[in-house]
Structure 1
Amino acid sequence: MPNTRSANAVRLEFAPGSLVQTNLSGAAFTGDWLWVAGDEACGLDRLRRLDPVGSETLRFSEVRDFPLADLLDLPGAADEEADLEGMAVADGYLWVVGSHGFKRKNIKPDRAHADNAKRLAKVALDANRRLLACLPIEADAQGAPCLVRQATDGRRSLRLKGDAQANLLTRALAHDPHFGPYMAIPGKDNGFDVEGLAVDGSRLLLGLRGPVLRGWSALLEIRIEVRADDLRLAPLDDKGTLVRKHFLPLDGLGIRDLHFSGDDLYILAGPTMVLNGDIRVFKWPLARAVMNANREPVRVEGALTEAVSLPHGRGTNRAEAICDLPPAMAGSKPRWLVLYDAPGADRRDGEHTVFGDLLRHD
């Protein structure tokens, strides 16, 4: 259980022109290297651990960009944002997932009333948002982990089969009684919005920021297999279930990130839609064992334990990523890294440096 938070304990130094800058939405480690995703880019950044320069505990710099277009045949244009929201490292791959949702144009203060009314009526889908992919990690000549289209051992970058309009996941949910009505609703309107990812072998867990249904948050369980040049959905049981649904009591909050610690699943949760409000970490005890024993297509899970509350601002400092520190960094007590979207002035040092927090847990 997290019991101590060290604010601004992690310094991340980006560079002018880096694919990822300040709006951090995903994080994962490979040794001394930190992978980060942002929700306004079509790629990932890798940073290396360096010696601290100030009062921070950990510092990461020497950023390198990895554009997704160099690694995958994307459903959309190379410069179209993927809105990456979840990341996980497993079995030599970096897994990433986009929000999958539609977006609605926002009001601009310098526009006329009629123009802003038209903007609010415009809903669009960026094709790259419907991305679920695994990217091989391979060391370069200097031993640094890199993302590659194809590794020397035959591993390949693969994405869930789909096109610019839909993929196998959205097709499987198109007529679902819980999520079908929300598939064409923008994520920030409590529509369909994937923001969390956890990997357990061939099983993937996708946490939904929305929709939240009468206060119940949703976690989707899927199984992935490789077929030909794509990832495909594989049945979860002998009945052919492709998506198993878990409804969780998170006090009306949507899921922002997921992280396994042993058999327990930790859930970073915050407001759905465009709201300022509580951001908390919940614990689902023995979640892995529960899911291994579960054969029902839909489950309403029991009470979860609230582990810790995190700070937030008005339109700033929204915690969106949580991941374990490697043991060599964590020291004697396990610790997690927490990164924030829209960091406020208190989490910035100049234009290209931001700070995250550390959580210690028992």
Structure 2
Amino acid sequence: MPNIRSANAVRLEFPPGGLVHTNLSGAAFTGEWLWVVGDEAAGIERLRRLEPVGQERLRYGDAREFPLAALLDLPGADDEEADLEGMAEVDGWLWIVGSHGRKRKNAKPDRDHADNAQRLAKVSLDGNRRLLARLPIEPGEDGTPTLVRQARDGRRALRLEGKARENPLTQALADDPHFGHYLKIPGKDNGLDIEGLAVCGDRLLLGLRGPVLRGWSALLEIAVAPRGAQLALRPLDAHGTLVRKHFLQLQGLGIRDLHLRGDDLYILAGPTMVLDGDIRLFTWPGARATLAGNTEPVRFEHALGETTSLPHGCGSDRAEAFCALPAGLLPGQPGWLVLYDAPGSGRMDGAFTVFGDLLQRG
């Protein structure tokens, strides 16, 4: 018998052998189709809306994977994980961003002390983690939304120029007084770790899970434009500013995901380090107008509203991705889809079906 959940549950069914279902980290809708990514894969999954089970409101399955290597010339190896952490769908483009951070090996219970000491000292960087790209969406032969390297209307899949070790964003941050030192620190150790992406007009907003500096979380504002076969950073003003910094008061939490809806920016926030703790959804009211009118290279935002707290487990069920439901998908108030990393047994039905949540937005 299936593990039937309550009406606020969203059932996601994945094929056997996939990597994404236990480490969901980004989500976006194209109508009734749902795109998801995980932080241990190098591809994007597209799921189709299916008839719900029991009293559940939404069910998605019939997954199709779009390998990044088929869409882009990657900075790293084709099979190397991209640690994708942010996603946004805007005007027929699917934007994705990797964490850009380094990683540290973890100690394992079946290893001796000396071996674990060596593992814990090992810091590395997968080249595909430093990926920022936009991918064209167009109808496939069967009419379903499809990711392509080049669309029939001439749009092309492009990524931010750069190599496996660095790109223009990391170069711009290398000498930054707030973030330069954190480029060498692994993301899970409060090092640089991008985990949110939102598109605001011609600007991109990148939310940092880390570093959190004296309780201040950070949002980076950049602009990109095509240059040849890749994307390049574009100056934000006549002074040549490539990165604007917005420090947000999120009560010491790091940014886990972003979503711009109307004039407001919604911010999913949780612990920056590897620990169980509060996960909350904050609102930056009027963010679109503030960003459009801002010329300061650094701003501090104190007046953020907290909308809700989300559940979390002990070593499991960490809210990692959220996005707004498309208008008309479900009757009633507009709401959010929330997806979880490391789902516990209560969020699984068998090995390859996981459950997200629906949250109402007042």
TM-score range with shorter-chain normalisation? over 0.9
**Aligned-residue offset at 1:301:** 1.1
* Residue identity matched to 1:175: D
Q: Which runs of 5+ in 2 are unaligned?
A: 1-5
**Partner Cα distance (1:210, 1:330) in 2:** 35
**Aligned-residue offset at 1:54:** 2.3
1:19–1:43 Cα contact (<8 Å) kept: no
Aligned ranges 1:145-156 → 2 under 5 Å: 145-156=145-156
**Aligned-residue offset at 1:8:** 5.2
Which residue of structure 2 lines up, in the alignment, with residue 97 of structure 1?
Answer: 97
Q: Which runs of 5+ in 1 are unaligned?
A: 1-5
**Corresponding position: 1:13 with 2:13:** yes
**Partner Cα distance (2:222, 2:331) in 1:** 34
CA shift digits 1:210-244 (9 cap, x unpaired): 00000000000001111111111111111111000
Which residue of structure 2 lines up, in the alignment, with residue 218 of structure 1?
Answer: 218
> What's the secondary structure of 1:116's corresponding residue?
helix
Poorly superposed stretches of 4+, deviation over 4 Å: none
> What's the secondary structure of 2:346's corresponding residue?
helix
**Partner Cα distance (1:41, 1:59) in 2:** 23
Aligned ranges 1:1-362 → 2 under 5 Å: 9-362=9-362
**Partner Cα distance (1:112, 1:330) in 2:** 53
**Partner Cα distance (2:106, 2:361) in 1:** 39
* Residue identity matched to 1:311: P
2:7–2:56 Cα contact (<8 Å) kept: no
**Which range moved further: 177-186 or 197-206?**
197-206
> What's the secondary structure of 1:354's corresponding residue?
strand
**Partner Cα distance (1:51, 1:7) in 2:** 13
1:8–1:347 Cα contact (<8 Å) kept: no
**Aligned-residue offset at 1:32:** 1.1
**Partner Cα distance (1:72, 1:54) in 2:** 40
* Residue identity matched to 2:246: H
1:254–1:272 Cα contact (<8 Å) kept: yes
**Partner Cα distance (2:165, 2:338) in 1:** 33
**Aligned-residue offset at 1:333:** 1.1
**Aligned-residue offset at 1:314:** 1.1
Identity %: 72
TM-score, normalisation: structure 1: 0.97
* Residue identity matched to 1:31: G
CA shift digits 1:292-344 (9 cap, x unpaired): 11100000112211100000011100001110111121323111100000011
**Aligned-residue offset at 1:143:** 0.9
Going from structure 1 to structure 2, the CA distance change for 1:343 and 1:222 (only over 3 Å counts) comes to same
* Residue identity matched to 1:246: H
TM-score, normalisation: structure 2: 0.97
> What's the secondary structure of 2:108's corresponding residue?
coil
**Partner Cα distance (2:358, 2:215) in 1:** 29
* Residue identity matched to 1:193: D
2:97–2:197 Cα contact (<8 Å) kept: yes
* Residue identity matched to 1:320: E
* Residue identity matched to 1:303: A
**Partner Cα distance (1:55, 1:15) in 2:** 23
**Which range moved further: 329-338 or 209-218?**
329-338
1:19–1:44 Cα contact (<8 Å) kept: no
1:19–1:45 Cα contact (<8 Å) kept: no
> What's the secondary structure of 1:181's corresponding residue?
helix
**Partner Cα distance (2:31, 2:157) in 1:** 21
2:8–2:359 Cα contact (<8 Å) kept: no
**Partner Cα distance (1:331, 1:269) in 2:** 28
- Number of residue pairs matched? 357
**Partner Cα distance (1:127, 1:167) in 2:** 10
> What's the secondary structure of 1:97's corresponding residue?
strand
Going from structure 1 to structure 2, the CA distance change for 1:205 and 1:99 (only over 3 Å counts) comes to same
CA shift digits 1:97-141 (9 cap, x unpaired): 000000000001111100100001000000000000001101112
**Partner Cα distance (2:83, 2:138) in 1:** 24
**Aligned-residue offset at 1:55:** 2.6
**Partner Cα distance (1:271, 1:62) in 2:** 33
**Partner Cα distance (1:120, 1:141) in 2:** 49
**Aligned-residue offset at 1:7:** 7.2
Which residue of structure 2 lines up, in the alignment, with residue 3 of structure 1?
Answer: none
RMSD across aligned positions (CA): 1.0
* Residue identity matched to 1:53: V
**Partner Cα distance (2:296, 2:200) in 1:** 19
* Residue identity matched to 1:124: S
1:192–1:210 Cα contact (<8 Å) kept: yes
**Aligned-residue offset at 1:18:** 2.8
CA shift digits 1:13-42 (9 cap, x unpaired): 001123522210000000111000001100
